[in-house]
Amino acid sequence: MWPLWIIALGTSGKSFVGNPVIGSRLLNTLGLHILRVLIGRIVTWVRWLLLTPLVDRALRRNLHRDGFAIVPDFISPGQIAAIRAEVKAHTGETRQMLQGNTATQRILLDAAALQDKHHLAALCQSRRFLRPLKYAAAKLSPPLLYVQRIRNGIREAGADPQKTMHADTFHPTIKAWLFLEDVTPEKGPFTYVKGSHKLTAARLRWEYGRSRTAARTHDGYSEKGSFRASPDDLTAMNLPEPAGVCARAGTLVIANTNGFHGRGQAEENQSRLEIWAYARPSPFNPLPGLPFRFVGALQSTILKAFWRRKDRTAAARNSRASWHLIDAAQMTDFE
């Protein structure tokens, strides 16, 4: 495995426990992790500069100043109602992950799911929607798109680990939320530590210290490359307190998830419905790629094949995959 572990240094590989080169205390003491962080950031900025024409200056300014950008009234009430009706009528493949007392339910918006959803299809193919997502991701191929429902407090279990502030990985990546209903504090709004995406000296010191011990952290996520940050950590980095993004239906939020973020604390049995976008490009490729739709279709095909393999593996152990199939009605029972 050593050749593969070394090659992974030039990819988005991030697991400190799964790759003894990435997780080496000696190499990270010598600065391996910080080198990957710095190169990944420089290369992403090259791609951002190349893609500047995709979006207006205000969105770029907000994204790079705060780590996220908010676009109110991105879609109209009529579009929201039509999309919600299409989601409610969905009977196809639907998957769920349980984390603590929270369920994340998703419908992958591939060609099969969009076949009879004309309003959703129009949105997913809209240049107005895709351009800011491509810019934020610093790549021209489209992000993965889902309908997502976050359901809070649906079972007796521990705390949801996604409600701890965290960075997804060591380089800029994006997630986006187009809310299909009003998001109020009790629904657990998307929460972000404003400005935490910036590579300040304090953030780099924290990254350096965490990289030396990450392989032995054992919180379930930091050792896999998604560092968790406590309130004391945020104070040490001179960062503000996390703030929830409460918004009206139709609002689009795009975030650099290399900054610290998480789900807000929500009341039991509260949920939020949204269109969710995700992109994690290669951090070391200075080219933004090509704007071909088949790339997105290929991503979806590979992802679904991966899910099916996980389903078979779990079934052989008489269990279920982490992202397991559910009846669509379990997700579409909203009013």
Return d(Cα 153, Cα 63) in angstroms, integer: 32
Q: What are the per-10-residue average pLDDT scores of the chain (335 residues)?
A: 94 96 97 98 97 96 98 98 98 96 97 96 96 96 96 90 96 97 96 98 97 92 96 97 97 98 94 96 92 85 96 96 97 93
Coil vs helix vs strand at 327: coil
Spatial contact of 60 and 46, defined as CB atoms under 8 Å apart: no
Which pLDDT score, from 0 to 100, does residue 206 have? 98
CA dist 127 and 117 (Å) reads: 18
What's the CA gap between 238 and 168, in Å, rounded? 20
pLDDT at residue number 229: 96
Q: What is the pLDDT of residue 291?
A: 82
Cα atoms in the Cβ-side hemisphere of radius 13 Å centred on 62? 12
Under CATH, what is the fold of the domain 57-198+239-330?
Jelly Rolls (2.60.120)
Question: Residue 106 has what pLDDT?
Answer: 98
Say how far apart CA 318 and CA 260 lie, in whole Å.
37
Rounded CA separation 110/112 (Å): 6
Q: Which of 317, 297, 335, 329 is nearest to 144 (CA)?
A: 297
Q: Does the pTM exceed 0.85?
A: yes
Domain boundaries, the chain: 57-198+239-330
